[in-house]
Amino acid sequence: MTTGPLAGLRVVELTGLGPAPFAAMLLADLGADVLRVDRPGARPPTPAARHDLLARGRRSVAVDLKDPDGAELVRRLAERADVLLEGFRPGVTERLGIGPQECLARNPRLVYGRMTGWGQDGPLAATAGHDLGYIAVTGVLHAIGRAGGPPQVPLNLVGDFGGGAMYLVVGVLAALLEARGSGRGQVVDAAIVDGTAHLATMVLGMLAGGVWRDTRGVNLLDSGVPWYDVHETADGRHLAVAALEPQFYAELVDRLGLADRAPDRADADPEVLRGLVADAIRRRTRDEWVEVFAGSDACVAPVLSFAEARDHPQLAARQTYLERDGVVQPAPAPRFSRTPATLDRPPSRAGEHTRAALADWGISDVDALLTAGTVVQAPDDRAPDERAG
């Protein structure tokens, strides 16, 4: 039984790529009943469906959206939903007859969440793009990297998931809250360029105030100082050092054995100090330094791989990573004291739940839709070890 704080919320997800599925996954993690609308025959991006973690937590129906009856089915589902999510280029859902105008006409309280890279308007709105290009034009990619080196690619965490999916979820939840008073839904236009720029608010304030330079690797938080940087250890691994405050820095240099040699950082040449810190850290292995800094306030942490992270004592204690259906994956976040979120459904295959889910959503003519080919019930062609759950 779903117990998360969004239990009872009904969401229709028109399946796309990257940030929109992540937003739907997050809503499902928190208890919403999210119904994925997939293309018939769609294949997961991973060799086995159970590894497609962005598809976890919700059921899938396969619908031919180019069939007028398929579009009508989406409109019928929208009548029964609180939220609809889509991640297509601007104008696609309008051409299919399932855009905001059609869906809000059926359900005036509907929150229609739209996820794009460039936004719903502007000169680039209709053009293709991906995470890296979106964060490039915001100034954020330019800021990430070391002095004298090229910009560094931060996976697609900053754009797709940070500036995109999370802002879509915030926008949807805000619109739902507003609708409780007004009785009216609305369209949420979540653009990765907007969200990524918004994430950089603090840095832009520092830039305006003259305490940040618009150059990579020369500032407080971008590897410009040795007490907030990543340093190599004797075994070729790394320590993350984040001793920003003076008392934490004092603890750092003391445990590094530099208390008598490290100059006051306010007056020191940063590169001289960097050499002292780097040389000291290279004298021991990463795990030896973990023992040295255990229990301290020096703000030093080992740089762990994904394979190692699950066993870190803090993450293990909180069960930050869980194993479900043979796959290690992040637990739902954040935590709730009274309505805890749970992982109650493994990733779904396209059309896996077409018959049962549509019936549960009050669609009475499922058999007719199946016979016409408007919707498809996928056969259970999974390997035996994937059928559990």
Catalytic (active site) residue 235 = no
The Cα–Cα gap between 67 and 375 comes to 10
111-116 vs 186-191, strand pairing mode: parallel
Query: How many other C-beta atoms can be found within 10 angstroms of the C-beta atom of residue 238?
Result: 18
Catalytic (active site) residue 312 = no
Query: How many other C-beta atoms can be found within 10 angstroms of the C-beta atom of residue 120?
Result: 16
Under DSSP, the state recorded for 66 is T
51, 67, 130, 254: the catalytic one is 130
Please return the burial class of 92, using the count of CB atoms within 10 Å of its CB with bins 0-12, 13-18 and 19+.
middle
Query: How many other C-beta atoms can be found within 10 angstroms of the C-beta atom of residue 93?
Result: 23
The Cα–Cα gap between 193 and 204 comes to 15
Nearby residues of 263 by Cβ (< 8 Å), 6 or more positions away: 272, 273
Please return the burial class of 332, using the count of CB atoms within 10 Å of its CB with bins 0-12, 13-18 and 19+.
buried
Tokens linked to 274: 């960097």
The single-letter code of the amino acid at 144 is I
DSSP bridge partners of 84: 12, 112
29, 131, 160, 194: the catalytic one is 160
Given a contact cutoff of 8 angstroms between Cβ atoms, the answer to whether 303 and 230 are in contact is yes
Under DSSP, the state recorded for 361 is T
State the catalytic residues. Answer: 130, 160
